[in-house]
Chain A
Amino acid sequence: MIDFVEVIERARTGKIYTPEQWDTEFIPGVVRELLKKYRIEKTYDSENPISSDDALADAFFDAGLELAERTGFYCETTRRAISFTRDEILEAMGEKIPFIVFGSHPDQVTMWARHPEDSHPPFAFLGPLGQVIDEEIWQPVHQSVAQYRVVDGIVPGSLEKIKGKLIRTGSPLETLAGHHEAVLLHQAVEAVGRSSMPLCGVETSPAEYGHFGGFGTPGGYTVHDCSIILSVSELRTTYGLMHKATHLQILGAPIFSGHRSMIGGNVGSPEGCAVTAVTAVLLQILVHRAHIPGGSTFDIRFLCDSSRESIWADCISGQAQSRHITRPLEGMMSVVGGACTDMLLDELISRGVALVVSGRSCIWGVRTGGGARKNRATGLESKFAAETLKAAAGMTRKDANDLVKNFIPKYESFLKKPQLGKPFNECFDSNTLQPTDEWKAIYLRKLCELEDAGMKIK
């Protein structure tokens, strides 16, 4: 693969664009052209959210590859495009990573590169992702997730304060918070007897400061854990994100780099987002040296990825990616239903099954309630998501399509006004780490519905 120093140099010397040119003219223009060229316009099929059409998936891959070659990734810091030749992209893509082992003995878990309908189980990296969790209940919330061994790795919530002081991005508190998050998470998993389980951080800090505080520092996240780099939509990076990638390479840690293409946004349609998601995966291997690249979609109308359009786009894009790239590929579950609601579990079924049968390996979530309201995540939705994800391994896309077609209508009319559910302390017992009867009953009912639909949960 092309040397990383050369990538940094291209960020300094590449073609200049203003952010507006990149966002509203260049990228949308090329995407529109490629949708026509590869005859994949208007292929969105609302009746069949999970496509089984390999030829269609391959057309999306070809379009995504050409988009990668023609646009590159935009560096916001230098306002230049980091460009690559087709050969450079194909060379990077050709470097296979069949599996990555996370955690350490005795809690090691292997993340396998997967393909559509693959029988290898996906890796469930779950927890109160994206949600502020107060320090007072940080331990029980995270213990409630870690206690379920079906959850392979844990993604923490975000801290809002440290020693009672609000954390602000760019302030030194952010560096401290990155470290504090890792220390607290280690305490939580140790308390439930899983001290060496895989962790994923730094979640509290979007910038490089928190990452430097929390990753590779004494008491912090280690090379056995998973890092987080989130690219900016569409196809953009910053020096800050590249700092994280540089630091992780020095440490020798596995690099996860994700990207969300926005349905309704600059690349617009489900088809445009699916193509761009393929491109994001290809280019993050080069620009962020991602071992686990991610290219998913996000529906800006509902601030989630469980809409019918988003599920369809991620299925076709995921198949395009996993049919051609042998690396663990990331897919996200960012839903809007709150804890202790049917809606949340219906969204997780639809989204999760779709990601798994499309070949995603690293399923990342659960962004309960869209992450907007604090202290509203529990361990039970992570358990349910992990169980569903693993049960979906080996399913055919056709069977999965039949299944999600039954579950999407249960929640899609609520996406604009989602069921908010309850905060942690109203649906989970902090001492026993058990859900309330009400929340448990919803969970059991949903398991029965899955069984009735032909899915066996172990």
Chain B
Amino acid sequence: MVQGLSPNIKEALKIALVQGDKATSIKTTQEAISQGISPMLIIQEIVVPVLTEIGNQFENLDIFLPELMAAGEAGNACTSIVEEAILKSGNQMQSEGTVVIGTVKGDIHDIGKNIVSSLLKAHGYKVIDLGKDVSAARFIDEAEANQADVIAASALMSITRAGTRDVADLLRDRGLKDKYLYIIGGGSITQEYADEIHADGFSETGSGAIDLVKTLMAHKRGE
């Protein structure tokens, strides 16, 4: 029988997520599922609202990148357990979507990418983070391997932003332009540049990137 969320579980998981305590987040999620609590309830009533609040705190400089990343990782771990539980029950998890993200070839700056990656996780997306100095081919190969919805490429420097164009060009040349939503960002990127290379979207900020992905995904689904 499916149970509602007890205040104890809710509080314990909330604290674990806020503290970025991955081990306790996993343990509490497993306990909750074993007690018959609906897996989706855990995501909808705890993980997403708590991590959204953490994202807001980051924007206000109340917390910093390490805390944001740790919370994102803990949230991701919870989501994986929930996903596993749903699959075991013979159902399919309605994921927000899968995003392959990285900093382009030649660019060794990854803070902006890390912020977007953590915020995406916090909003329930499955994120394949390729790190930095990522070739155009690898972005696409990983998107193919993970059945991604979105490819997100970051470039901080004006002299490395050509790497974002390379991803766009390779998507076109491999006939995959319409298969993936391609978004770009970073200090050297503007809306004009995104239009020039025919990217599907651009965001100046981390929170803006989440809104952008949501909007593009909704549009793709025909919502």
Residues of B within 8 A of A205 (CB): 159
Residues of B within 8 A of A76 (CB): 108
Tell me whether A130 and B111 are in contact (CB under 8 A).
Answer: no
- Contacts A28-B64, A160-B162; A300 near B59 (Cβ below 8 A): no
Q: Does B24 contact A (CB under 8 A)?
A: no
Residues of A within 8 A of B162 (CB): 160, 166-169
Residues of A within 8 A of B58 (CB): 264
B57-85 contact mask (Cβ, 8 Å, vs A): 1 or 0: 01101011110011000000000000000
Residues of B within 8 A of A267 (CB): 64
Can you name 29 A-B pairs with beta carbons within 8 Å? Answer: A24-B66, A24-B69, A28-B66, A130-B158, A132-B158, A160-B159, A160-B162, A166-B162, A167-B159, A168-B106, A169-B160, A206-B106, A206-B107, A206-B108, A206-B159, A207-B106, A233-B111, A262-B111, A264-B58, A264-B65, A266-B66, A266-B111, A268-B64, A268-B65, A301-B205, A303-B187, A372-B158, A372-B190, A416-B205
Q: Tell me, in angstroms, the Cα distance from A76 to B105 when the chains sit together.
A: 16
- 7 shortest interchain CB distances as A-B pairs: A169-B106, A268-B64, A24-B66, A28-B66, A132-B158, A166-B162, A265-B65
Measured CB to CB, the nearest residue on chain B to A130 is: B158
Contacting residue for B70 out of A24, A131, A309, CB 8 A:
A24
Residues of B within 8 A of A59 (CB): none
Tell me whether B190 and A170 are in contact (CB under 8 A).
Answer: no
Residues of B within 8 A of A315 (CB): none
Chain B interface mostly helix, strand, loop or mixed?
A: loop
Residues of A within 8 A of B158 (CB): 130-132, 158, 160, 371-372, 374
A374-418 contact mask (Cβ, 8 Å, vs B): 1 or 0: 100000000000000000000000000000000000000000100
Instruction: Return B114 CB to nearest CB of chain A, in Å.
Output: 8
186-217 of chain A: CB within 8 A of chain B? 204-207
Q: Does B55 contact A (CB under 8 A)?
A: no
Instruction: Return B123 CB to nearest CB of chain A, in Å.
Output: 19
Residues of B within 8 A of A131 (CB): 158
Tell me whether B165 and A166 are in contact (CB under 8 A).
Answer: yes
Q: Tell me, in angstroms, the Cα distance from A266 to B159 when the chains sit together.
A: 25
Residues of A within 8 A of B115 (CB): 300
Q: Does A263 contact B (CB under 8 A)?
A: yes
Q: Does B166 contact A (CB under 8 A)?
A: yes
